[in-house]
Amino acid sequence: MDDETRRLLTWVDAHDAPPRHDEVEPWLLAQDWTPCGEGDWARAYRSPAGRLAARVSPFDPACAFTVALYREGAGNRYLPRLDAHRNLDGGGQLMVMELLDAVPADDAQQWHRRLHDPAAHRADPGLAAAAALIDGVHRRAEAELPWCGPLDDNPGNVMRDAAGRAKFVDLFYVQGLVLYDKALTAPAEVVAALPAELRRHMFEIPAIGREASPDELVRMRAAIAAADGH
């Protein structure tokens, strides 16, 4: 295990209870990890030595399936190396992975097509193995994860490692537009589907800060609190 990962895990595991995402992120910054990306569900931080990325999410119900994919696919050249994973307070998630870089959108779209192309699978057993594992984990997610979306073919979900090899990342997700609409229109469904202890920070993901108005955020919080009986 890399020393930077070891120091991070030592700090996380020293807590009596899992730290919050908003405690992990200041710790990373204080240790000279630098912000290097922000998606809908998480922020990423580059390690001081530039070899690792820490992905920190306040709330990501799909993360368990992503972790399962990376662990079950360890050694497959098309899946990223996962060095560590920790559950954080209230459904937050921390992953430490190899640092990856973006690829051009056209290249990414070609890789997404290859992932589902039988001819590409016949020519590349590693790609075929990755595709089979991705489909298998996705079927589990569809069966178990409320409002699971289809495989995410966003170009940003194909990246490359230091050697230039393509990697498929963050393919599984909850349909956020559905989930957060239901927070307003059918909060009882959200409360029934997601335990309170796993959605404590559901209104703190980056996408909410970008896309929801302050009034919408207040109304969503109030609706969920009322459905919880608070």
- Cβ distance 174 to 149 under 8 Å? yes
Mean pLDDT of the chain: 97
pLDDT digits (tens, 9 = 90+) for 113-163: 999 999 999 999 999 999 999 999 999 999 999 999 999 999 999 999 999
Report how far residue 61's alpha carbon sits from residue 48's, in angstroms, rounded to the nearest whole number.
Answer: 29
CA distance 96 to 12: 12
Q: Give the span between the Cα atoms of 185 and 180, in whole angstroms.
A: 9
User: What is the arithmetic mean of pLDDT over 19-40?
Assistant: 97
Name the percent of the chain lying above pLDDT 90: 97
Q: What local confidence, expressed as pLDDT, does residue 220 receive?
A: 97
Q: How would residue 1 be classed by pLDDT, with cut points 50, 70 and 90?
A: confident
How far apart (Å, rounded) are the C-alpha atoms in residues 143 and 152? 17
Per-residue pLDDT reduced to its tens digit, 54-87: 999 999 999 999 999 999 999 999 999 999 999 9
Say what percent of the chain tops pLDDT 70: 100
Q: What is the pLDDT of residue 230?
A: 79
With residue 119 as reference, give the H or E element that holds it. Answer: helix 118-123
The DSSP letter of residue 73 is T
**pLDDT value of position 91:** 97
73 half-sphere exposure, CB direction, 13 A CA radius: 28
How many beta carbons lie within 10 A of that of residue 176, not counting itself? 17
The pLDDT of residue 142 = 98
Report residue 21 CA to chain centroid gap.
13
| CA 108 to centroid of chain Cα atoms | 18
pLDDT of residue 28: 98
Please list the helix, strand and coil fractions of the chain in percent, rounded to the nearest 5, in that order: 50, 15, 35
Answer for the pair 216, 184: CB distance below 8 angstroms, yes or no.
yes
Supply the pLDDT for residue 7.
97
